[in-house]
Structure 1
Amino acid sequence: MSEAVVELAGVVREYPGAPPVRALDGVDLRIGAGELVAIVGPSGSGKSTLLHVLGTLDRADAGTVRIDGHDVGALSDAQLSALRARRIGFVFQQFFLTPGVSALDNVADGLLYTGLSLRERRDRAHDGLAAVGLTHRETHRPNQLSGGERQRVAVARALAGSPSLLLADEPTGNLDTVAGRGVVDLLHELHRAGTTVVVITHDLDVARSLPRQVHLRDGRIERDAA
């Protein structure tokens, strides 16, 4: 069995209200290094909350969360920020690219807080764009790129820091069918290269195309299937 990148045991996340809303209700989940996993479920199932917990953007109220061997509950806010910067890459439905800035520098800017020089950041950005097949577009600005290309730039930015875990939140949500298929193919390529990828999606076709699907409903894992 491969080393675990994600380990959740009895994780609970509750939001205040009358009555309180239990968004995650005793979630147990293990994701090994190099896996490609879909987290799927209807609106309100807990997918977004699970993404925030996996990405250390939100703390669990109960249970244990380990990311790349680190017990998230035992870390300070500064240590959590460092863990996110060095171990976790994020890809969102919105591309969040800076207008007027080249693809190369959009990727390099994702490494601003690593302490690397501009040249080192651009070298890593070049490698990241090569990984997603976009070196021929690295001088282009976002408005000169298609939707699928912009999402690939966002993936390259997430990869540039060599994260242990890549989290993709509805990565095909703003794309047409052809561009969306291209992004899914890219995720498969990254999986074959050994990247651990977790895709949060409500699209059952996207989920079925991935090797493992974890189905959430009402904050609980309903089914976990290859």
Structure 2
Amino acid sequence: MISLTEVTKVYAGEVTALGGVSLRIARGELVGIVGPSGSGKSTMLHVLGTLDRPTSGRVHIDGYDVGALSDGKLSALRASRIGFVFQQFHLASGTPALDNVADGLLYSGFRSAERRRRAAAALERVGLGHRMDHEPHELSGGERQRVAIARAVAGDPPLLLADEPTGALDSVSGEGVMTLLRELHAAGTTVVVITHDREIAGSLPRQVRMRDGLVVEDVVTAPVGVGP
């Protein structure tokens, strides 16, 4: 699903965020990328999600050579193959959960009725079928993150990238979100969780530890593709 070969990312001022990372993530894996602030894990998320092109090296996502794609084709790849979940939810205020999820499919090519059908199915999938008409301010933090996850998976992407998905939640809500991510993985989605929380990373079957822009440890505690 993911292949990085000697990937570097250098920002203005000669700030090296990735210093030559090689990484393989197989289809169907559940992986934690863990490290402290400044370790390069956020840059790794941007590269894995094709939000940022590397300075050097090669990136392949689901068989596509990212470096060979135009910006338009990269956008199409993200829309069809990658789902994103962020710490701060990024839901539109004053907009019901159903529309927040459906709007995530605006660039998918689906007609409005199909977007809403998929949004409703995704909300059912994350246990929020009874909250579709509720706006973000009417939902708990855990529920808002579930809406964000529904939005990420409504288009059935094979790859889900979750950036600190429990960072803004209490421990009970956070565990509920992690349970949901494990369920999505068990159903066949490749899930990559970016986190600074070593406890969360340690609960996953594979942990890729980063420091100073490099992968310093890659630990597998369960066979590839085996759900929790």
TM-score, normalization by structure 2: 0.95
Give the secondary-structure state (helix, strand or coil) at the position aligned to 2:16: strand
Name 1:88's counterpart in structure 2: 82
Name 1:169's counterpart in structure 2: 163
Distance 2:213 2:125 in 1: 35
Find out whether 1:10 has 2:24 as its counterpart: no
Query: AA paired with 1:31?
Result: I
**Runs of 4+ off more than 6 Å:** none
Deviation sequence 1:107-165 (CA, Å, 0-9, x none): 00101122212110111001111221111111111111100000000000000111121
Give the secondary-structure state (helix, strand or coil) at the position aligned to 1:89: strand
Distance 1:110 1:123 in 2: 13
Give me the identity figure in percent.
67
Name 2:18's counterpart in structure 1: 24
Give the one of 96, 106, 109 matched to 1:102: 96
Give the secondary-structure state (helix, strand or coil) at the position aligned to 2:218: strand
Deviation sequence 1:41-65 (CA, Å, 0-9, x none): 0111100110000010111111110
Give the secondary-structure state (helix, strand or coil) at the position aligned to 1:123: helix
Find out whether 1:214 has 2:208 as its counterpart: yes
Alpha-carbon offset, residue 26 of structure 1 = 1.2
Name 1:185's counterpart in structure 2: 179
Alpha-carbon offset, residue 16 of structure 1 = 2.4
Distance 2:82 2:173 in 1: 24
Distance 2:22 2:111 in 1: 41
Distance 2:149 2:215 in 1: 27
Aligned pairs for 1:1-226 (under 5 A) are 5-17=1-13, 20-226=14-220
Alpha-carbon offset, residue 36 of structure 1 = 0.7
Distance 1:42 1:189 in 2: 27
Alpha-carbon offset, residue 68 of structure 1 = 0.5
Give the secondary-structure state (helix, strand or coil) at the position aligned to 2:107: helix
Deviation sequence 1:178-214 (CA, Å, 0-9, x none): 1011101111111111110101000111111111100
Distance 1:127 1:211 in 2: 28
Distance 2:217 2:72 in 1: 35
Name 2:225's counterpart in structure 1: none
Query: AA paired with 2:140?
Result: S
Distance 2:85 2:219 in 1: 24
TM-score, normalization by structure 1: 0.95
Distance 1:79 1:100 in 2: 32
Give the secondary-structure state (helix, strand or coil) at the position aligned to 1:114: coil
Deviates more, 1:168-177 or 1:136-145: 136-145
RMSD: 0.8
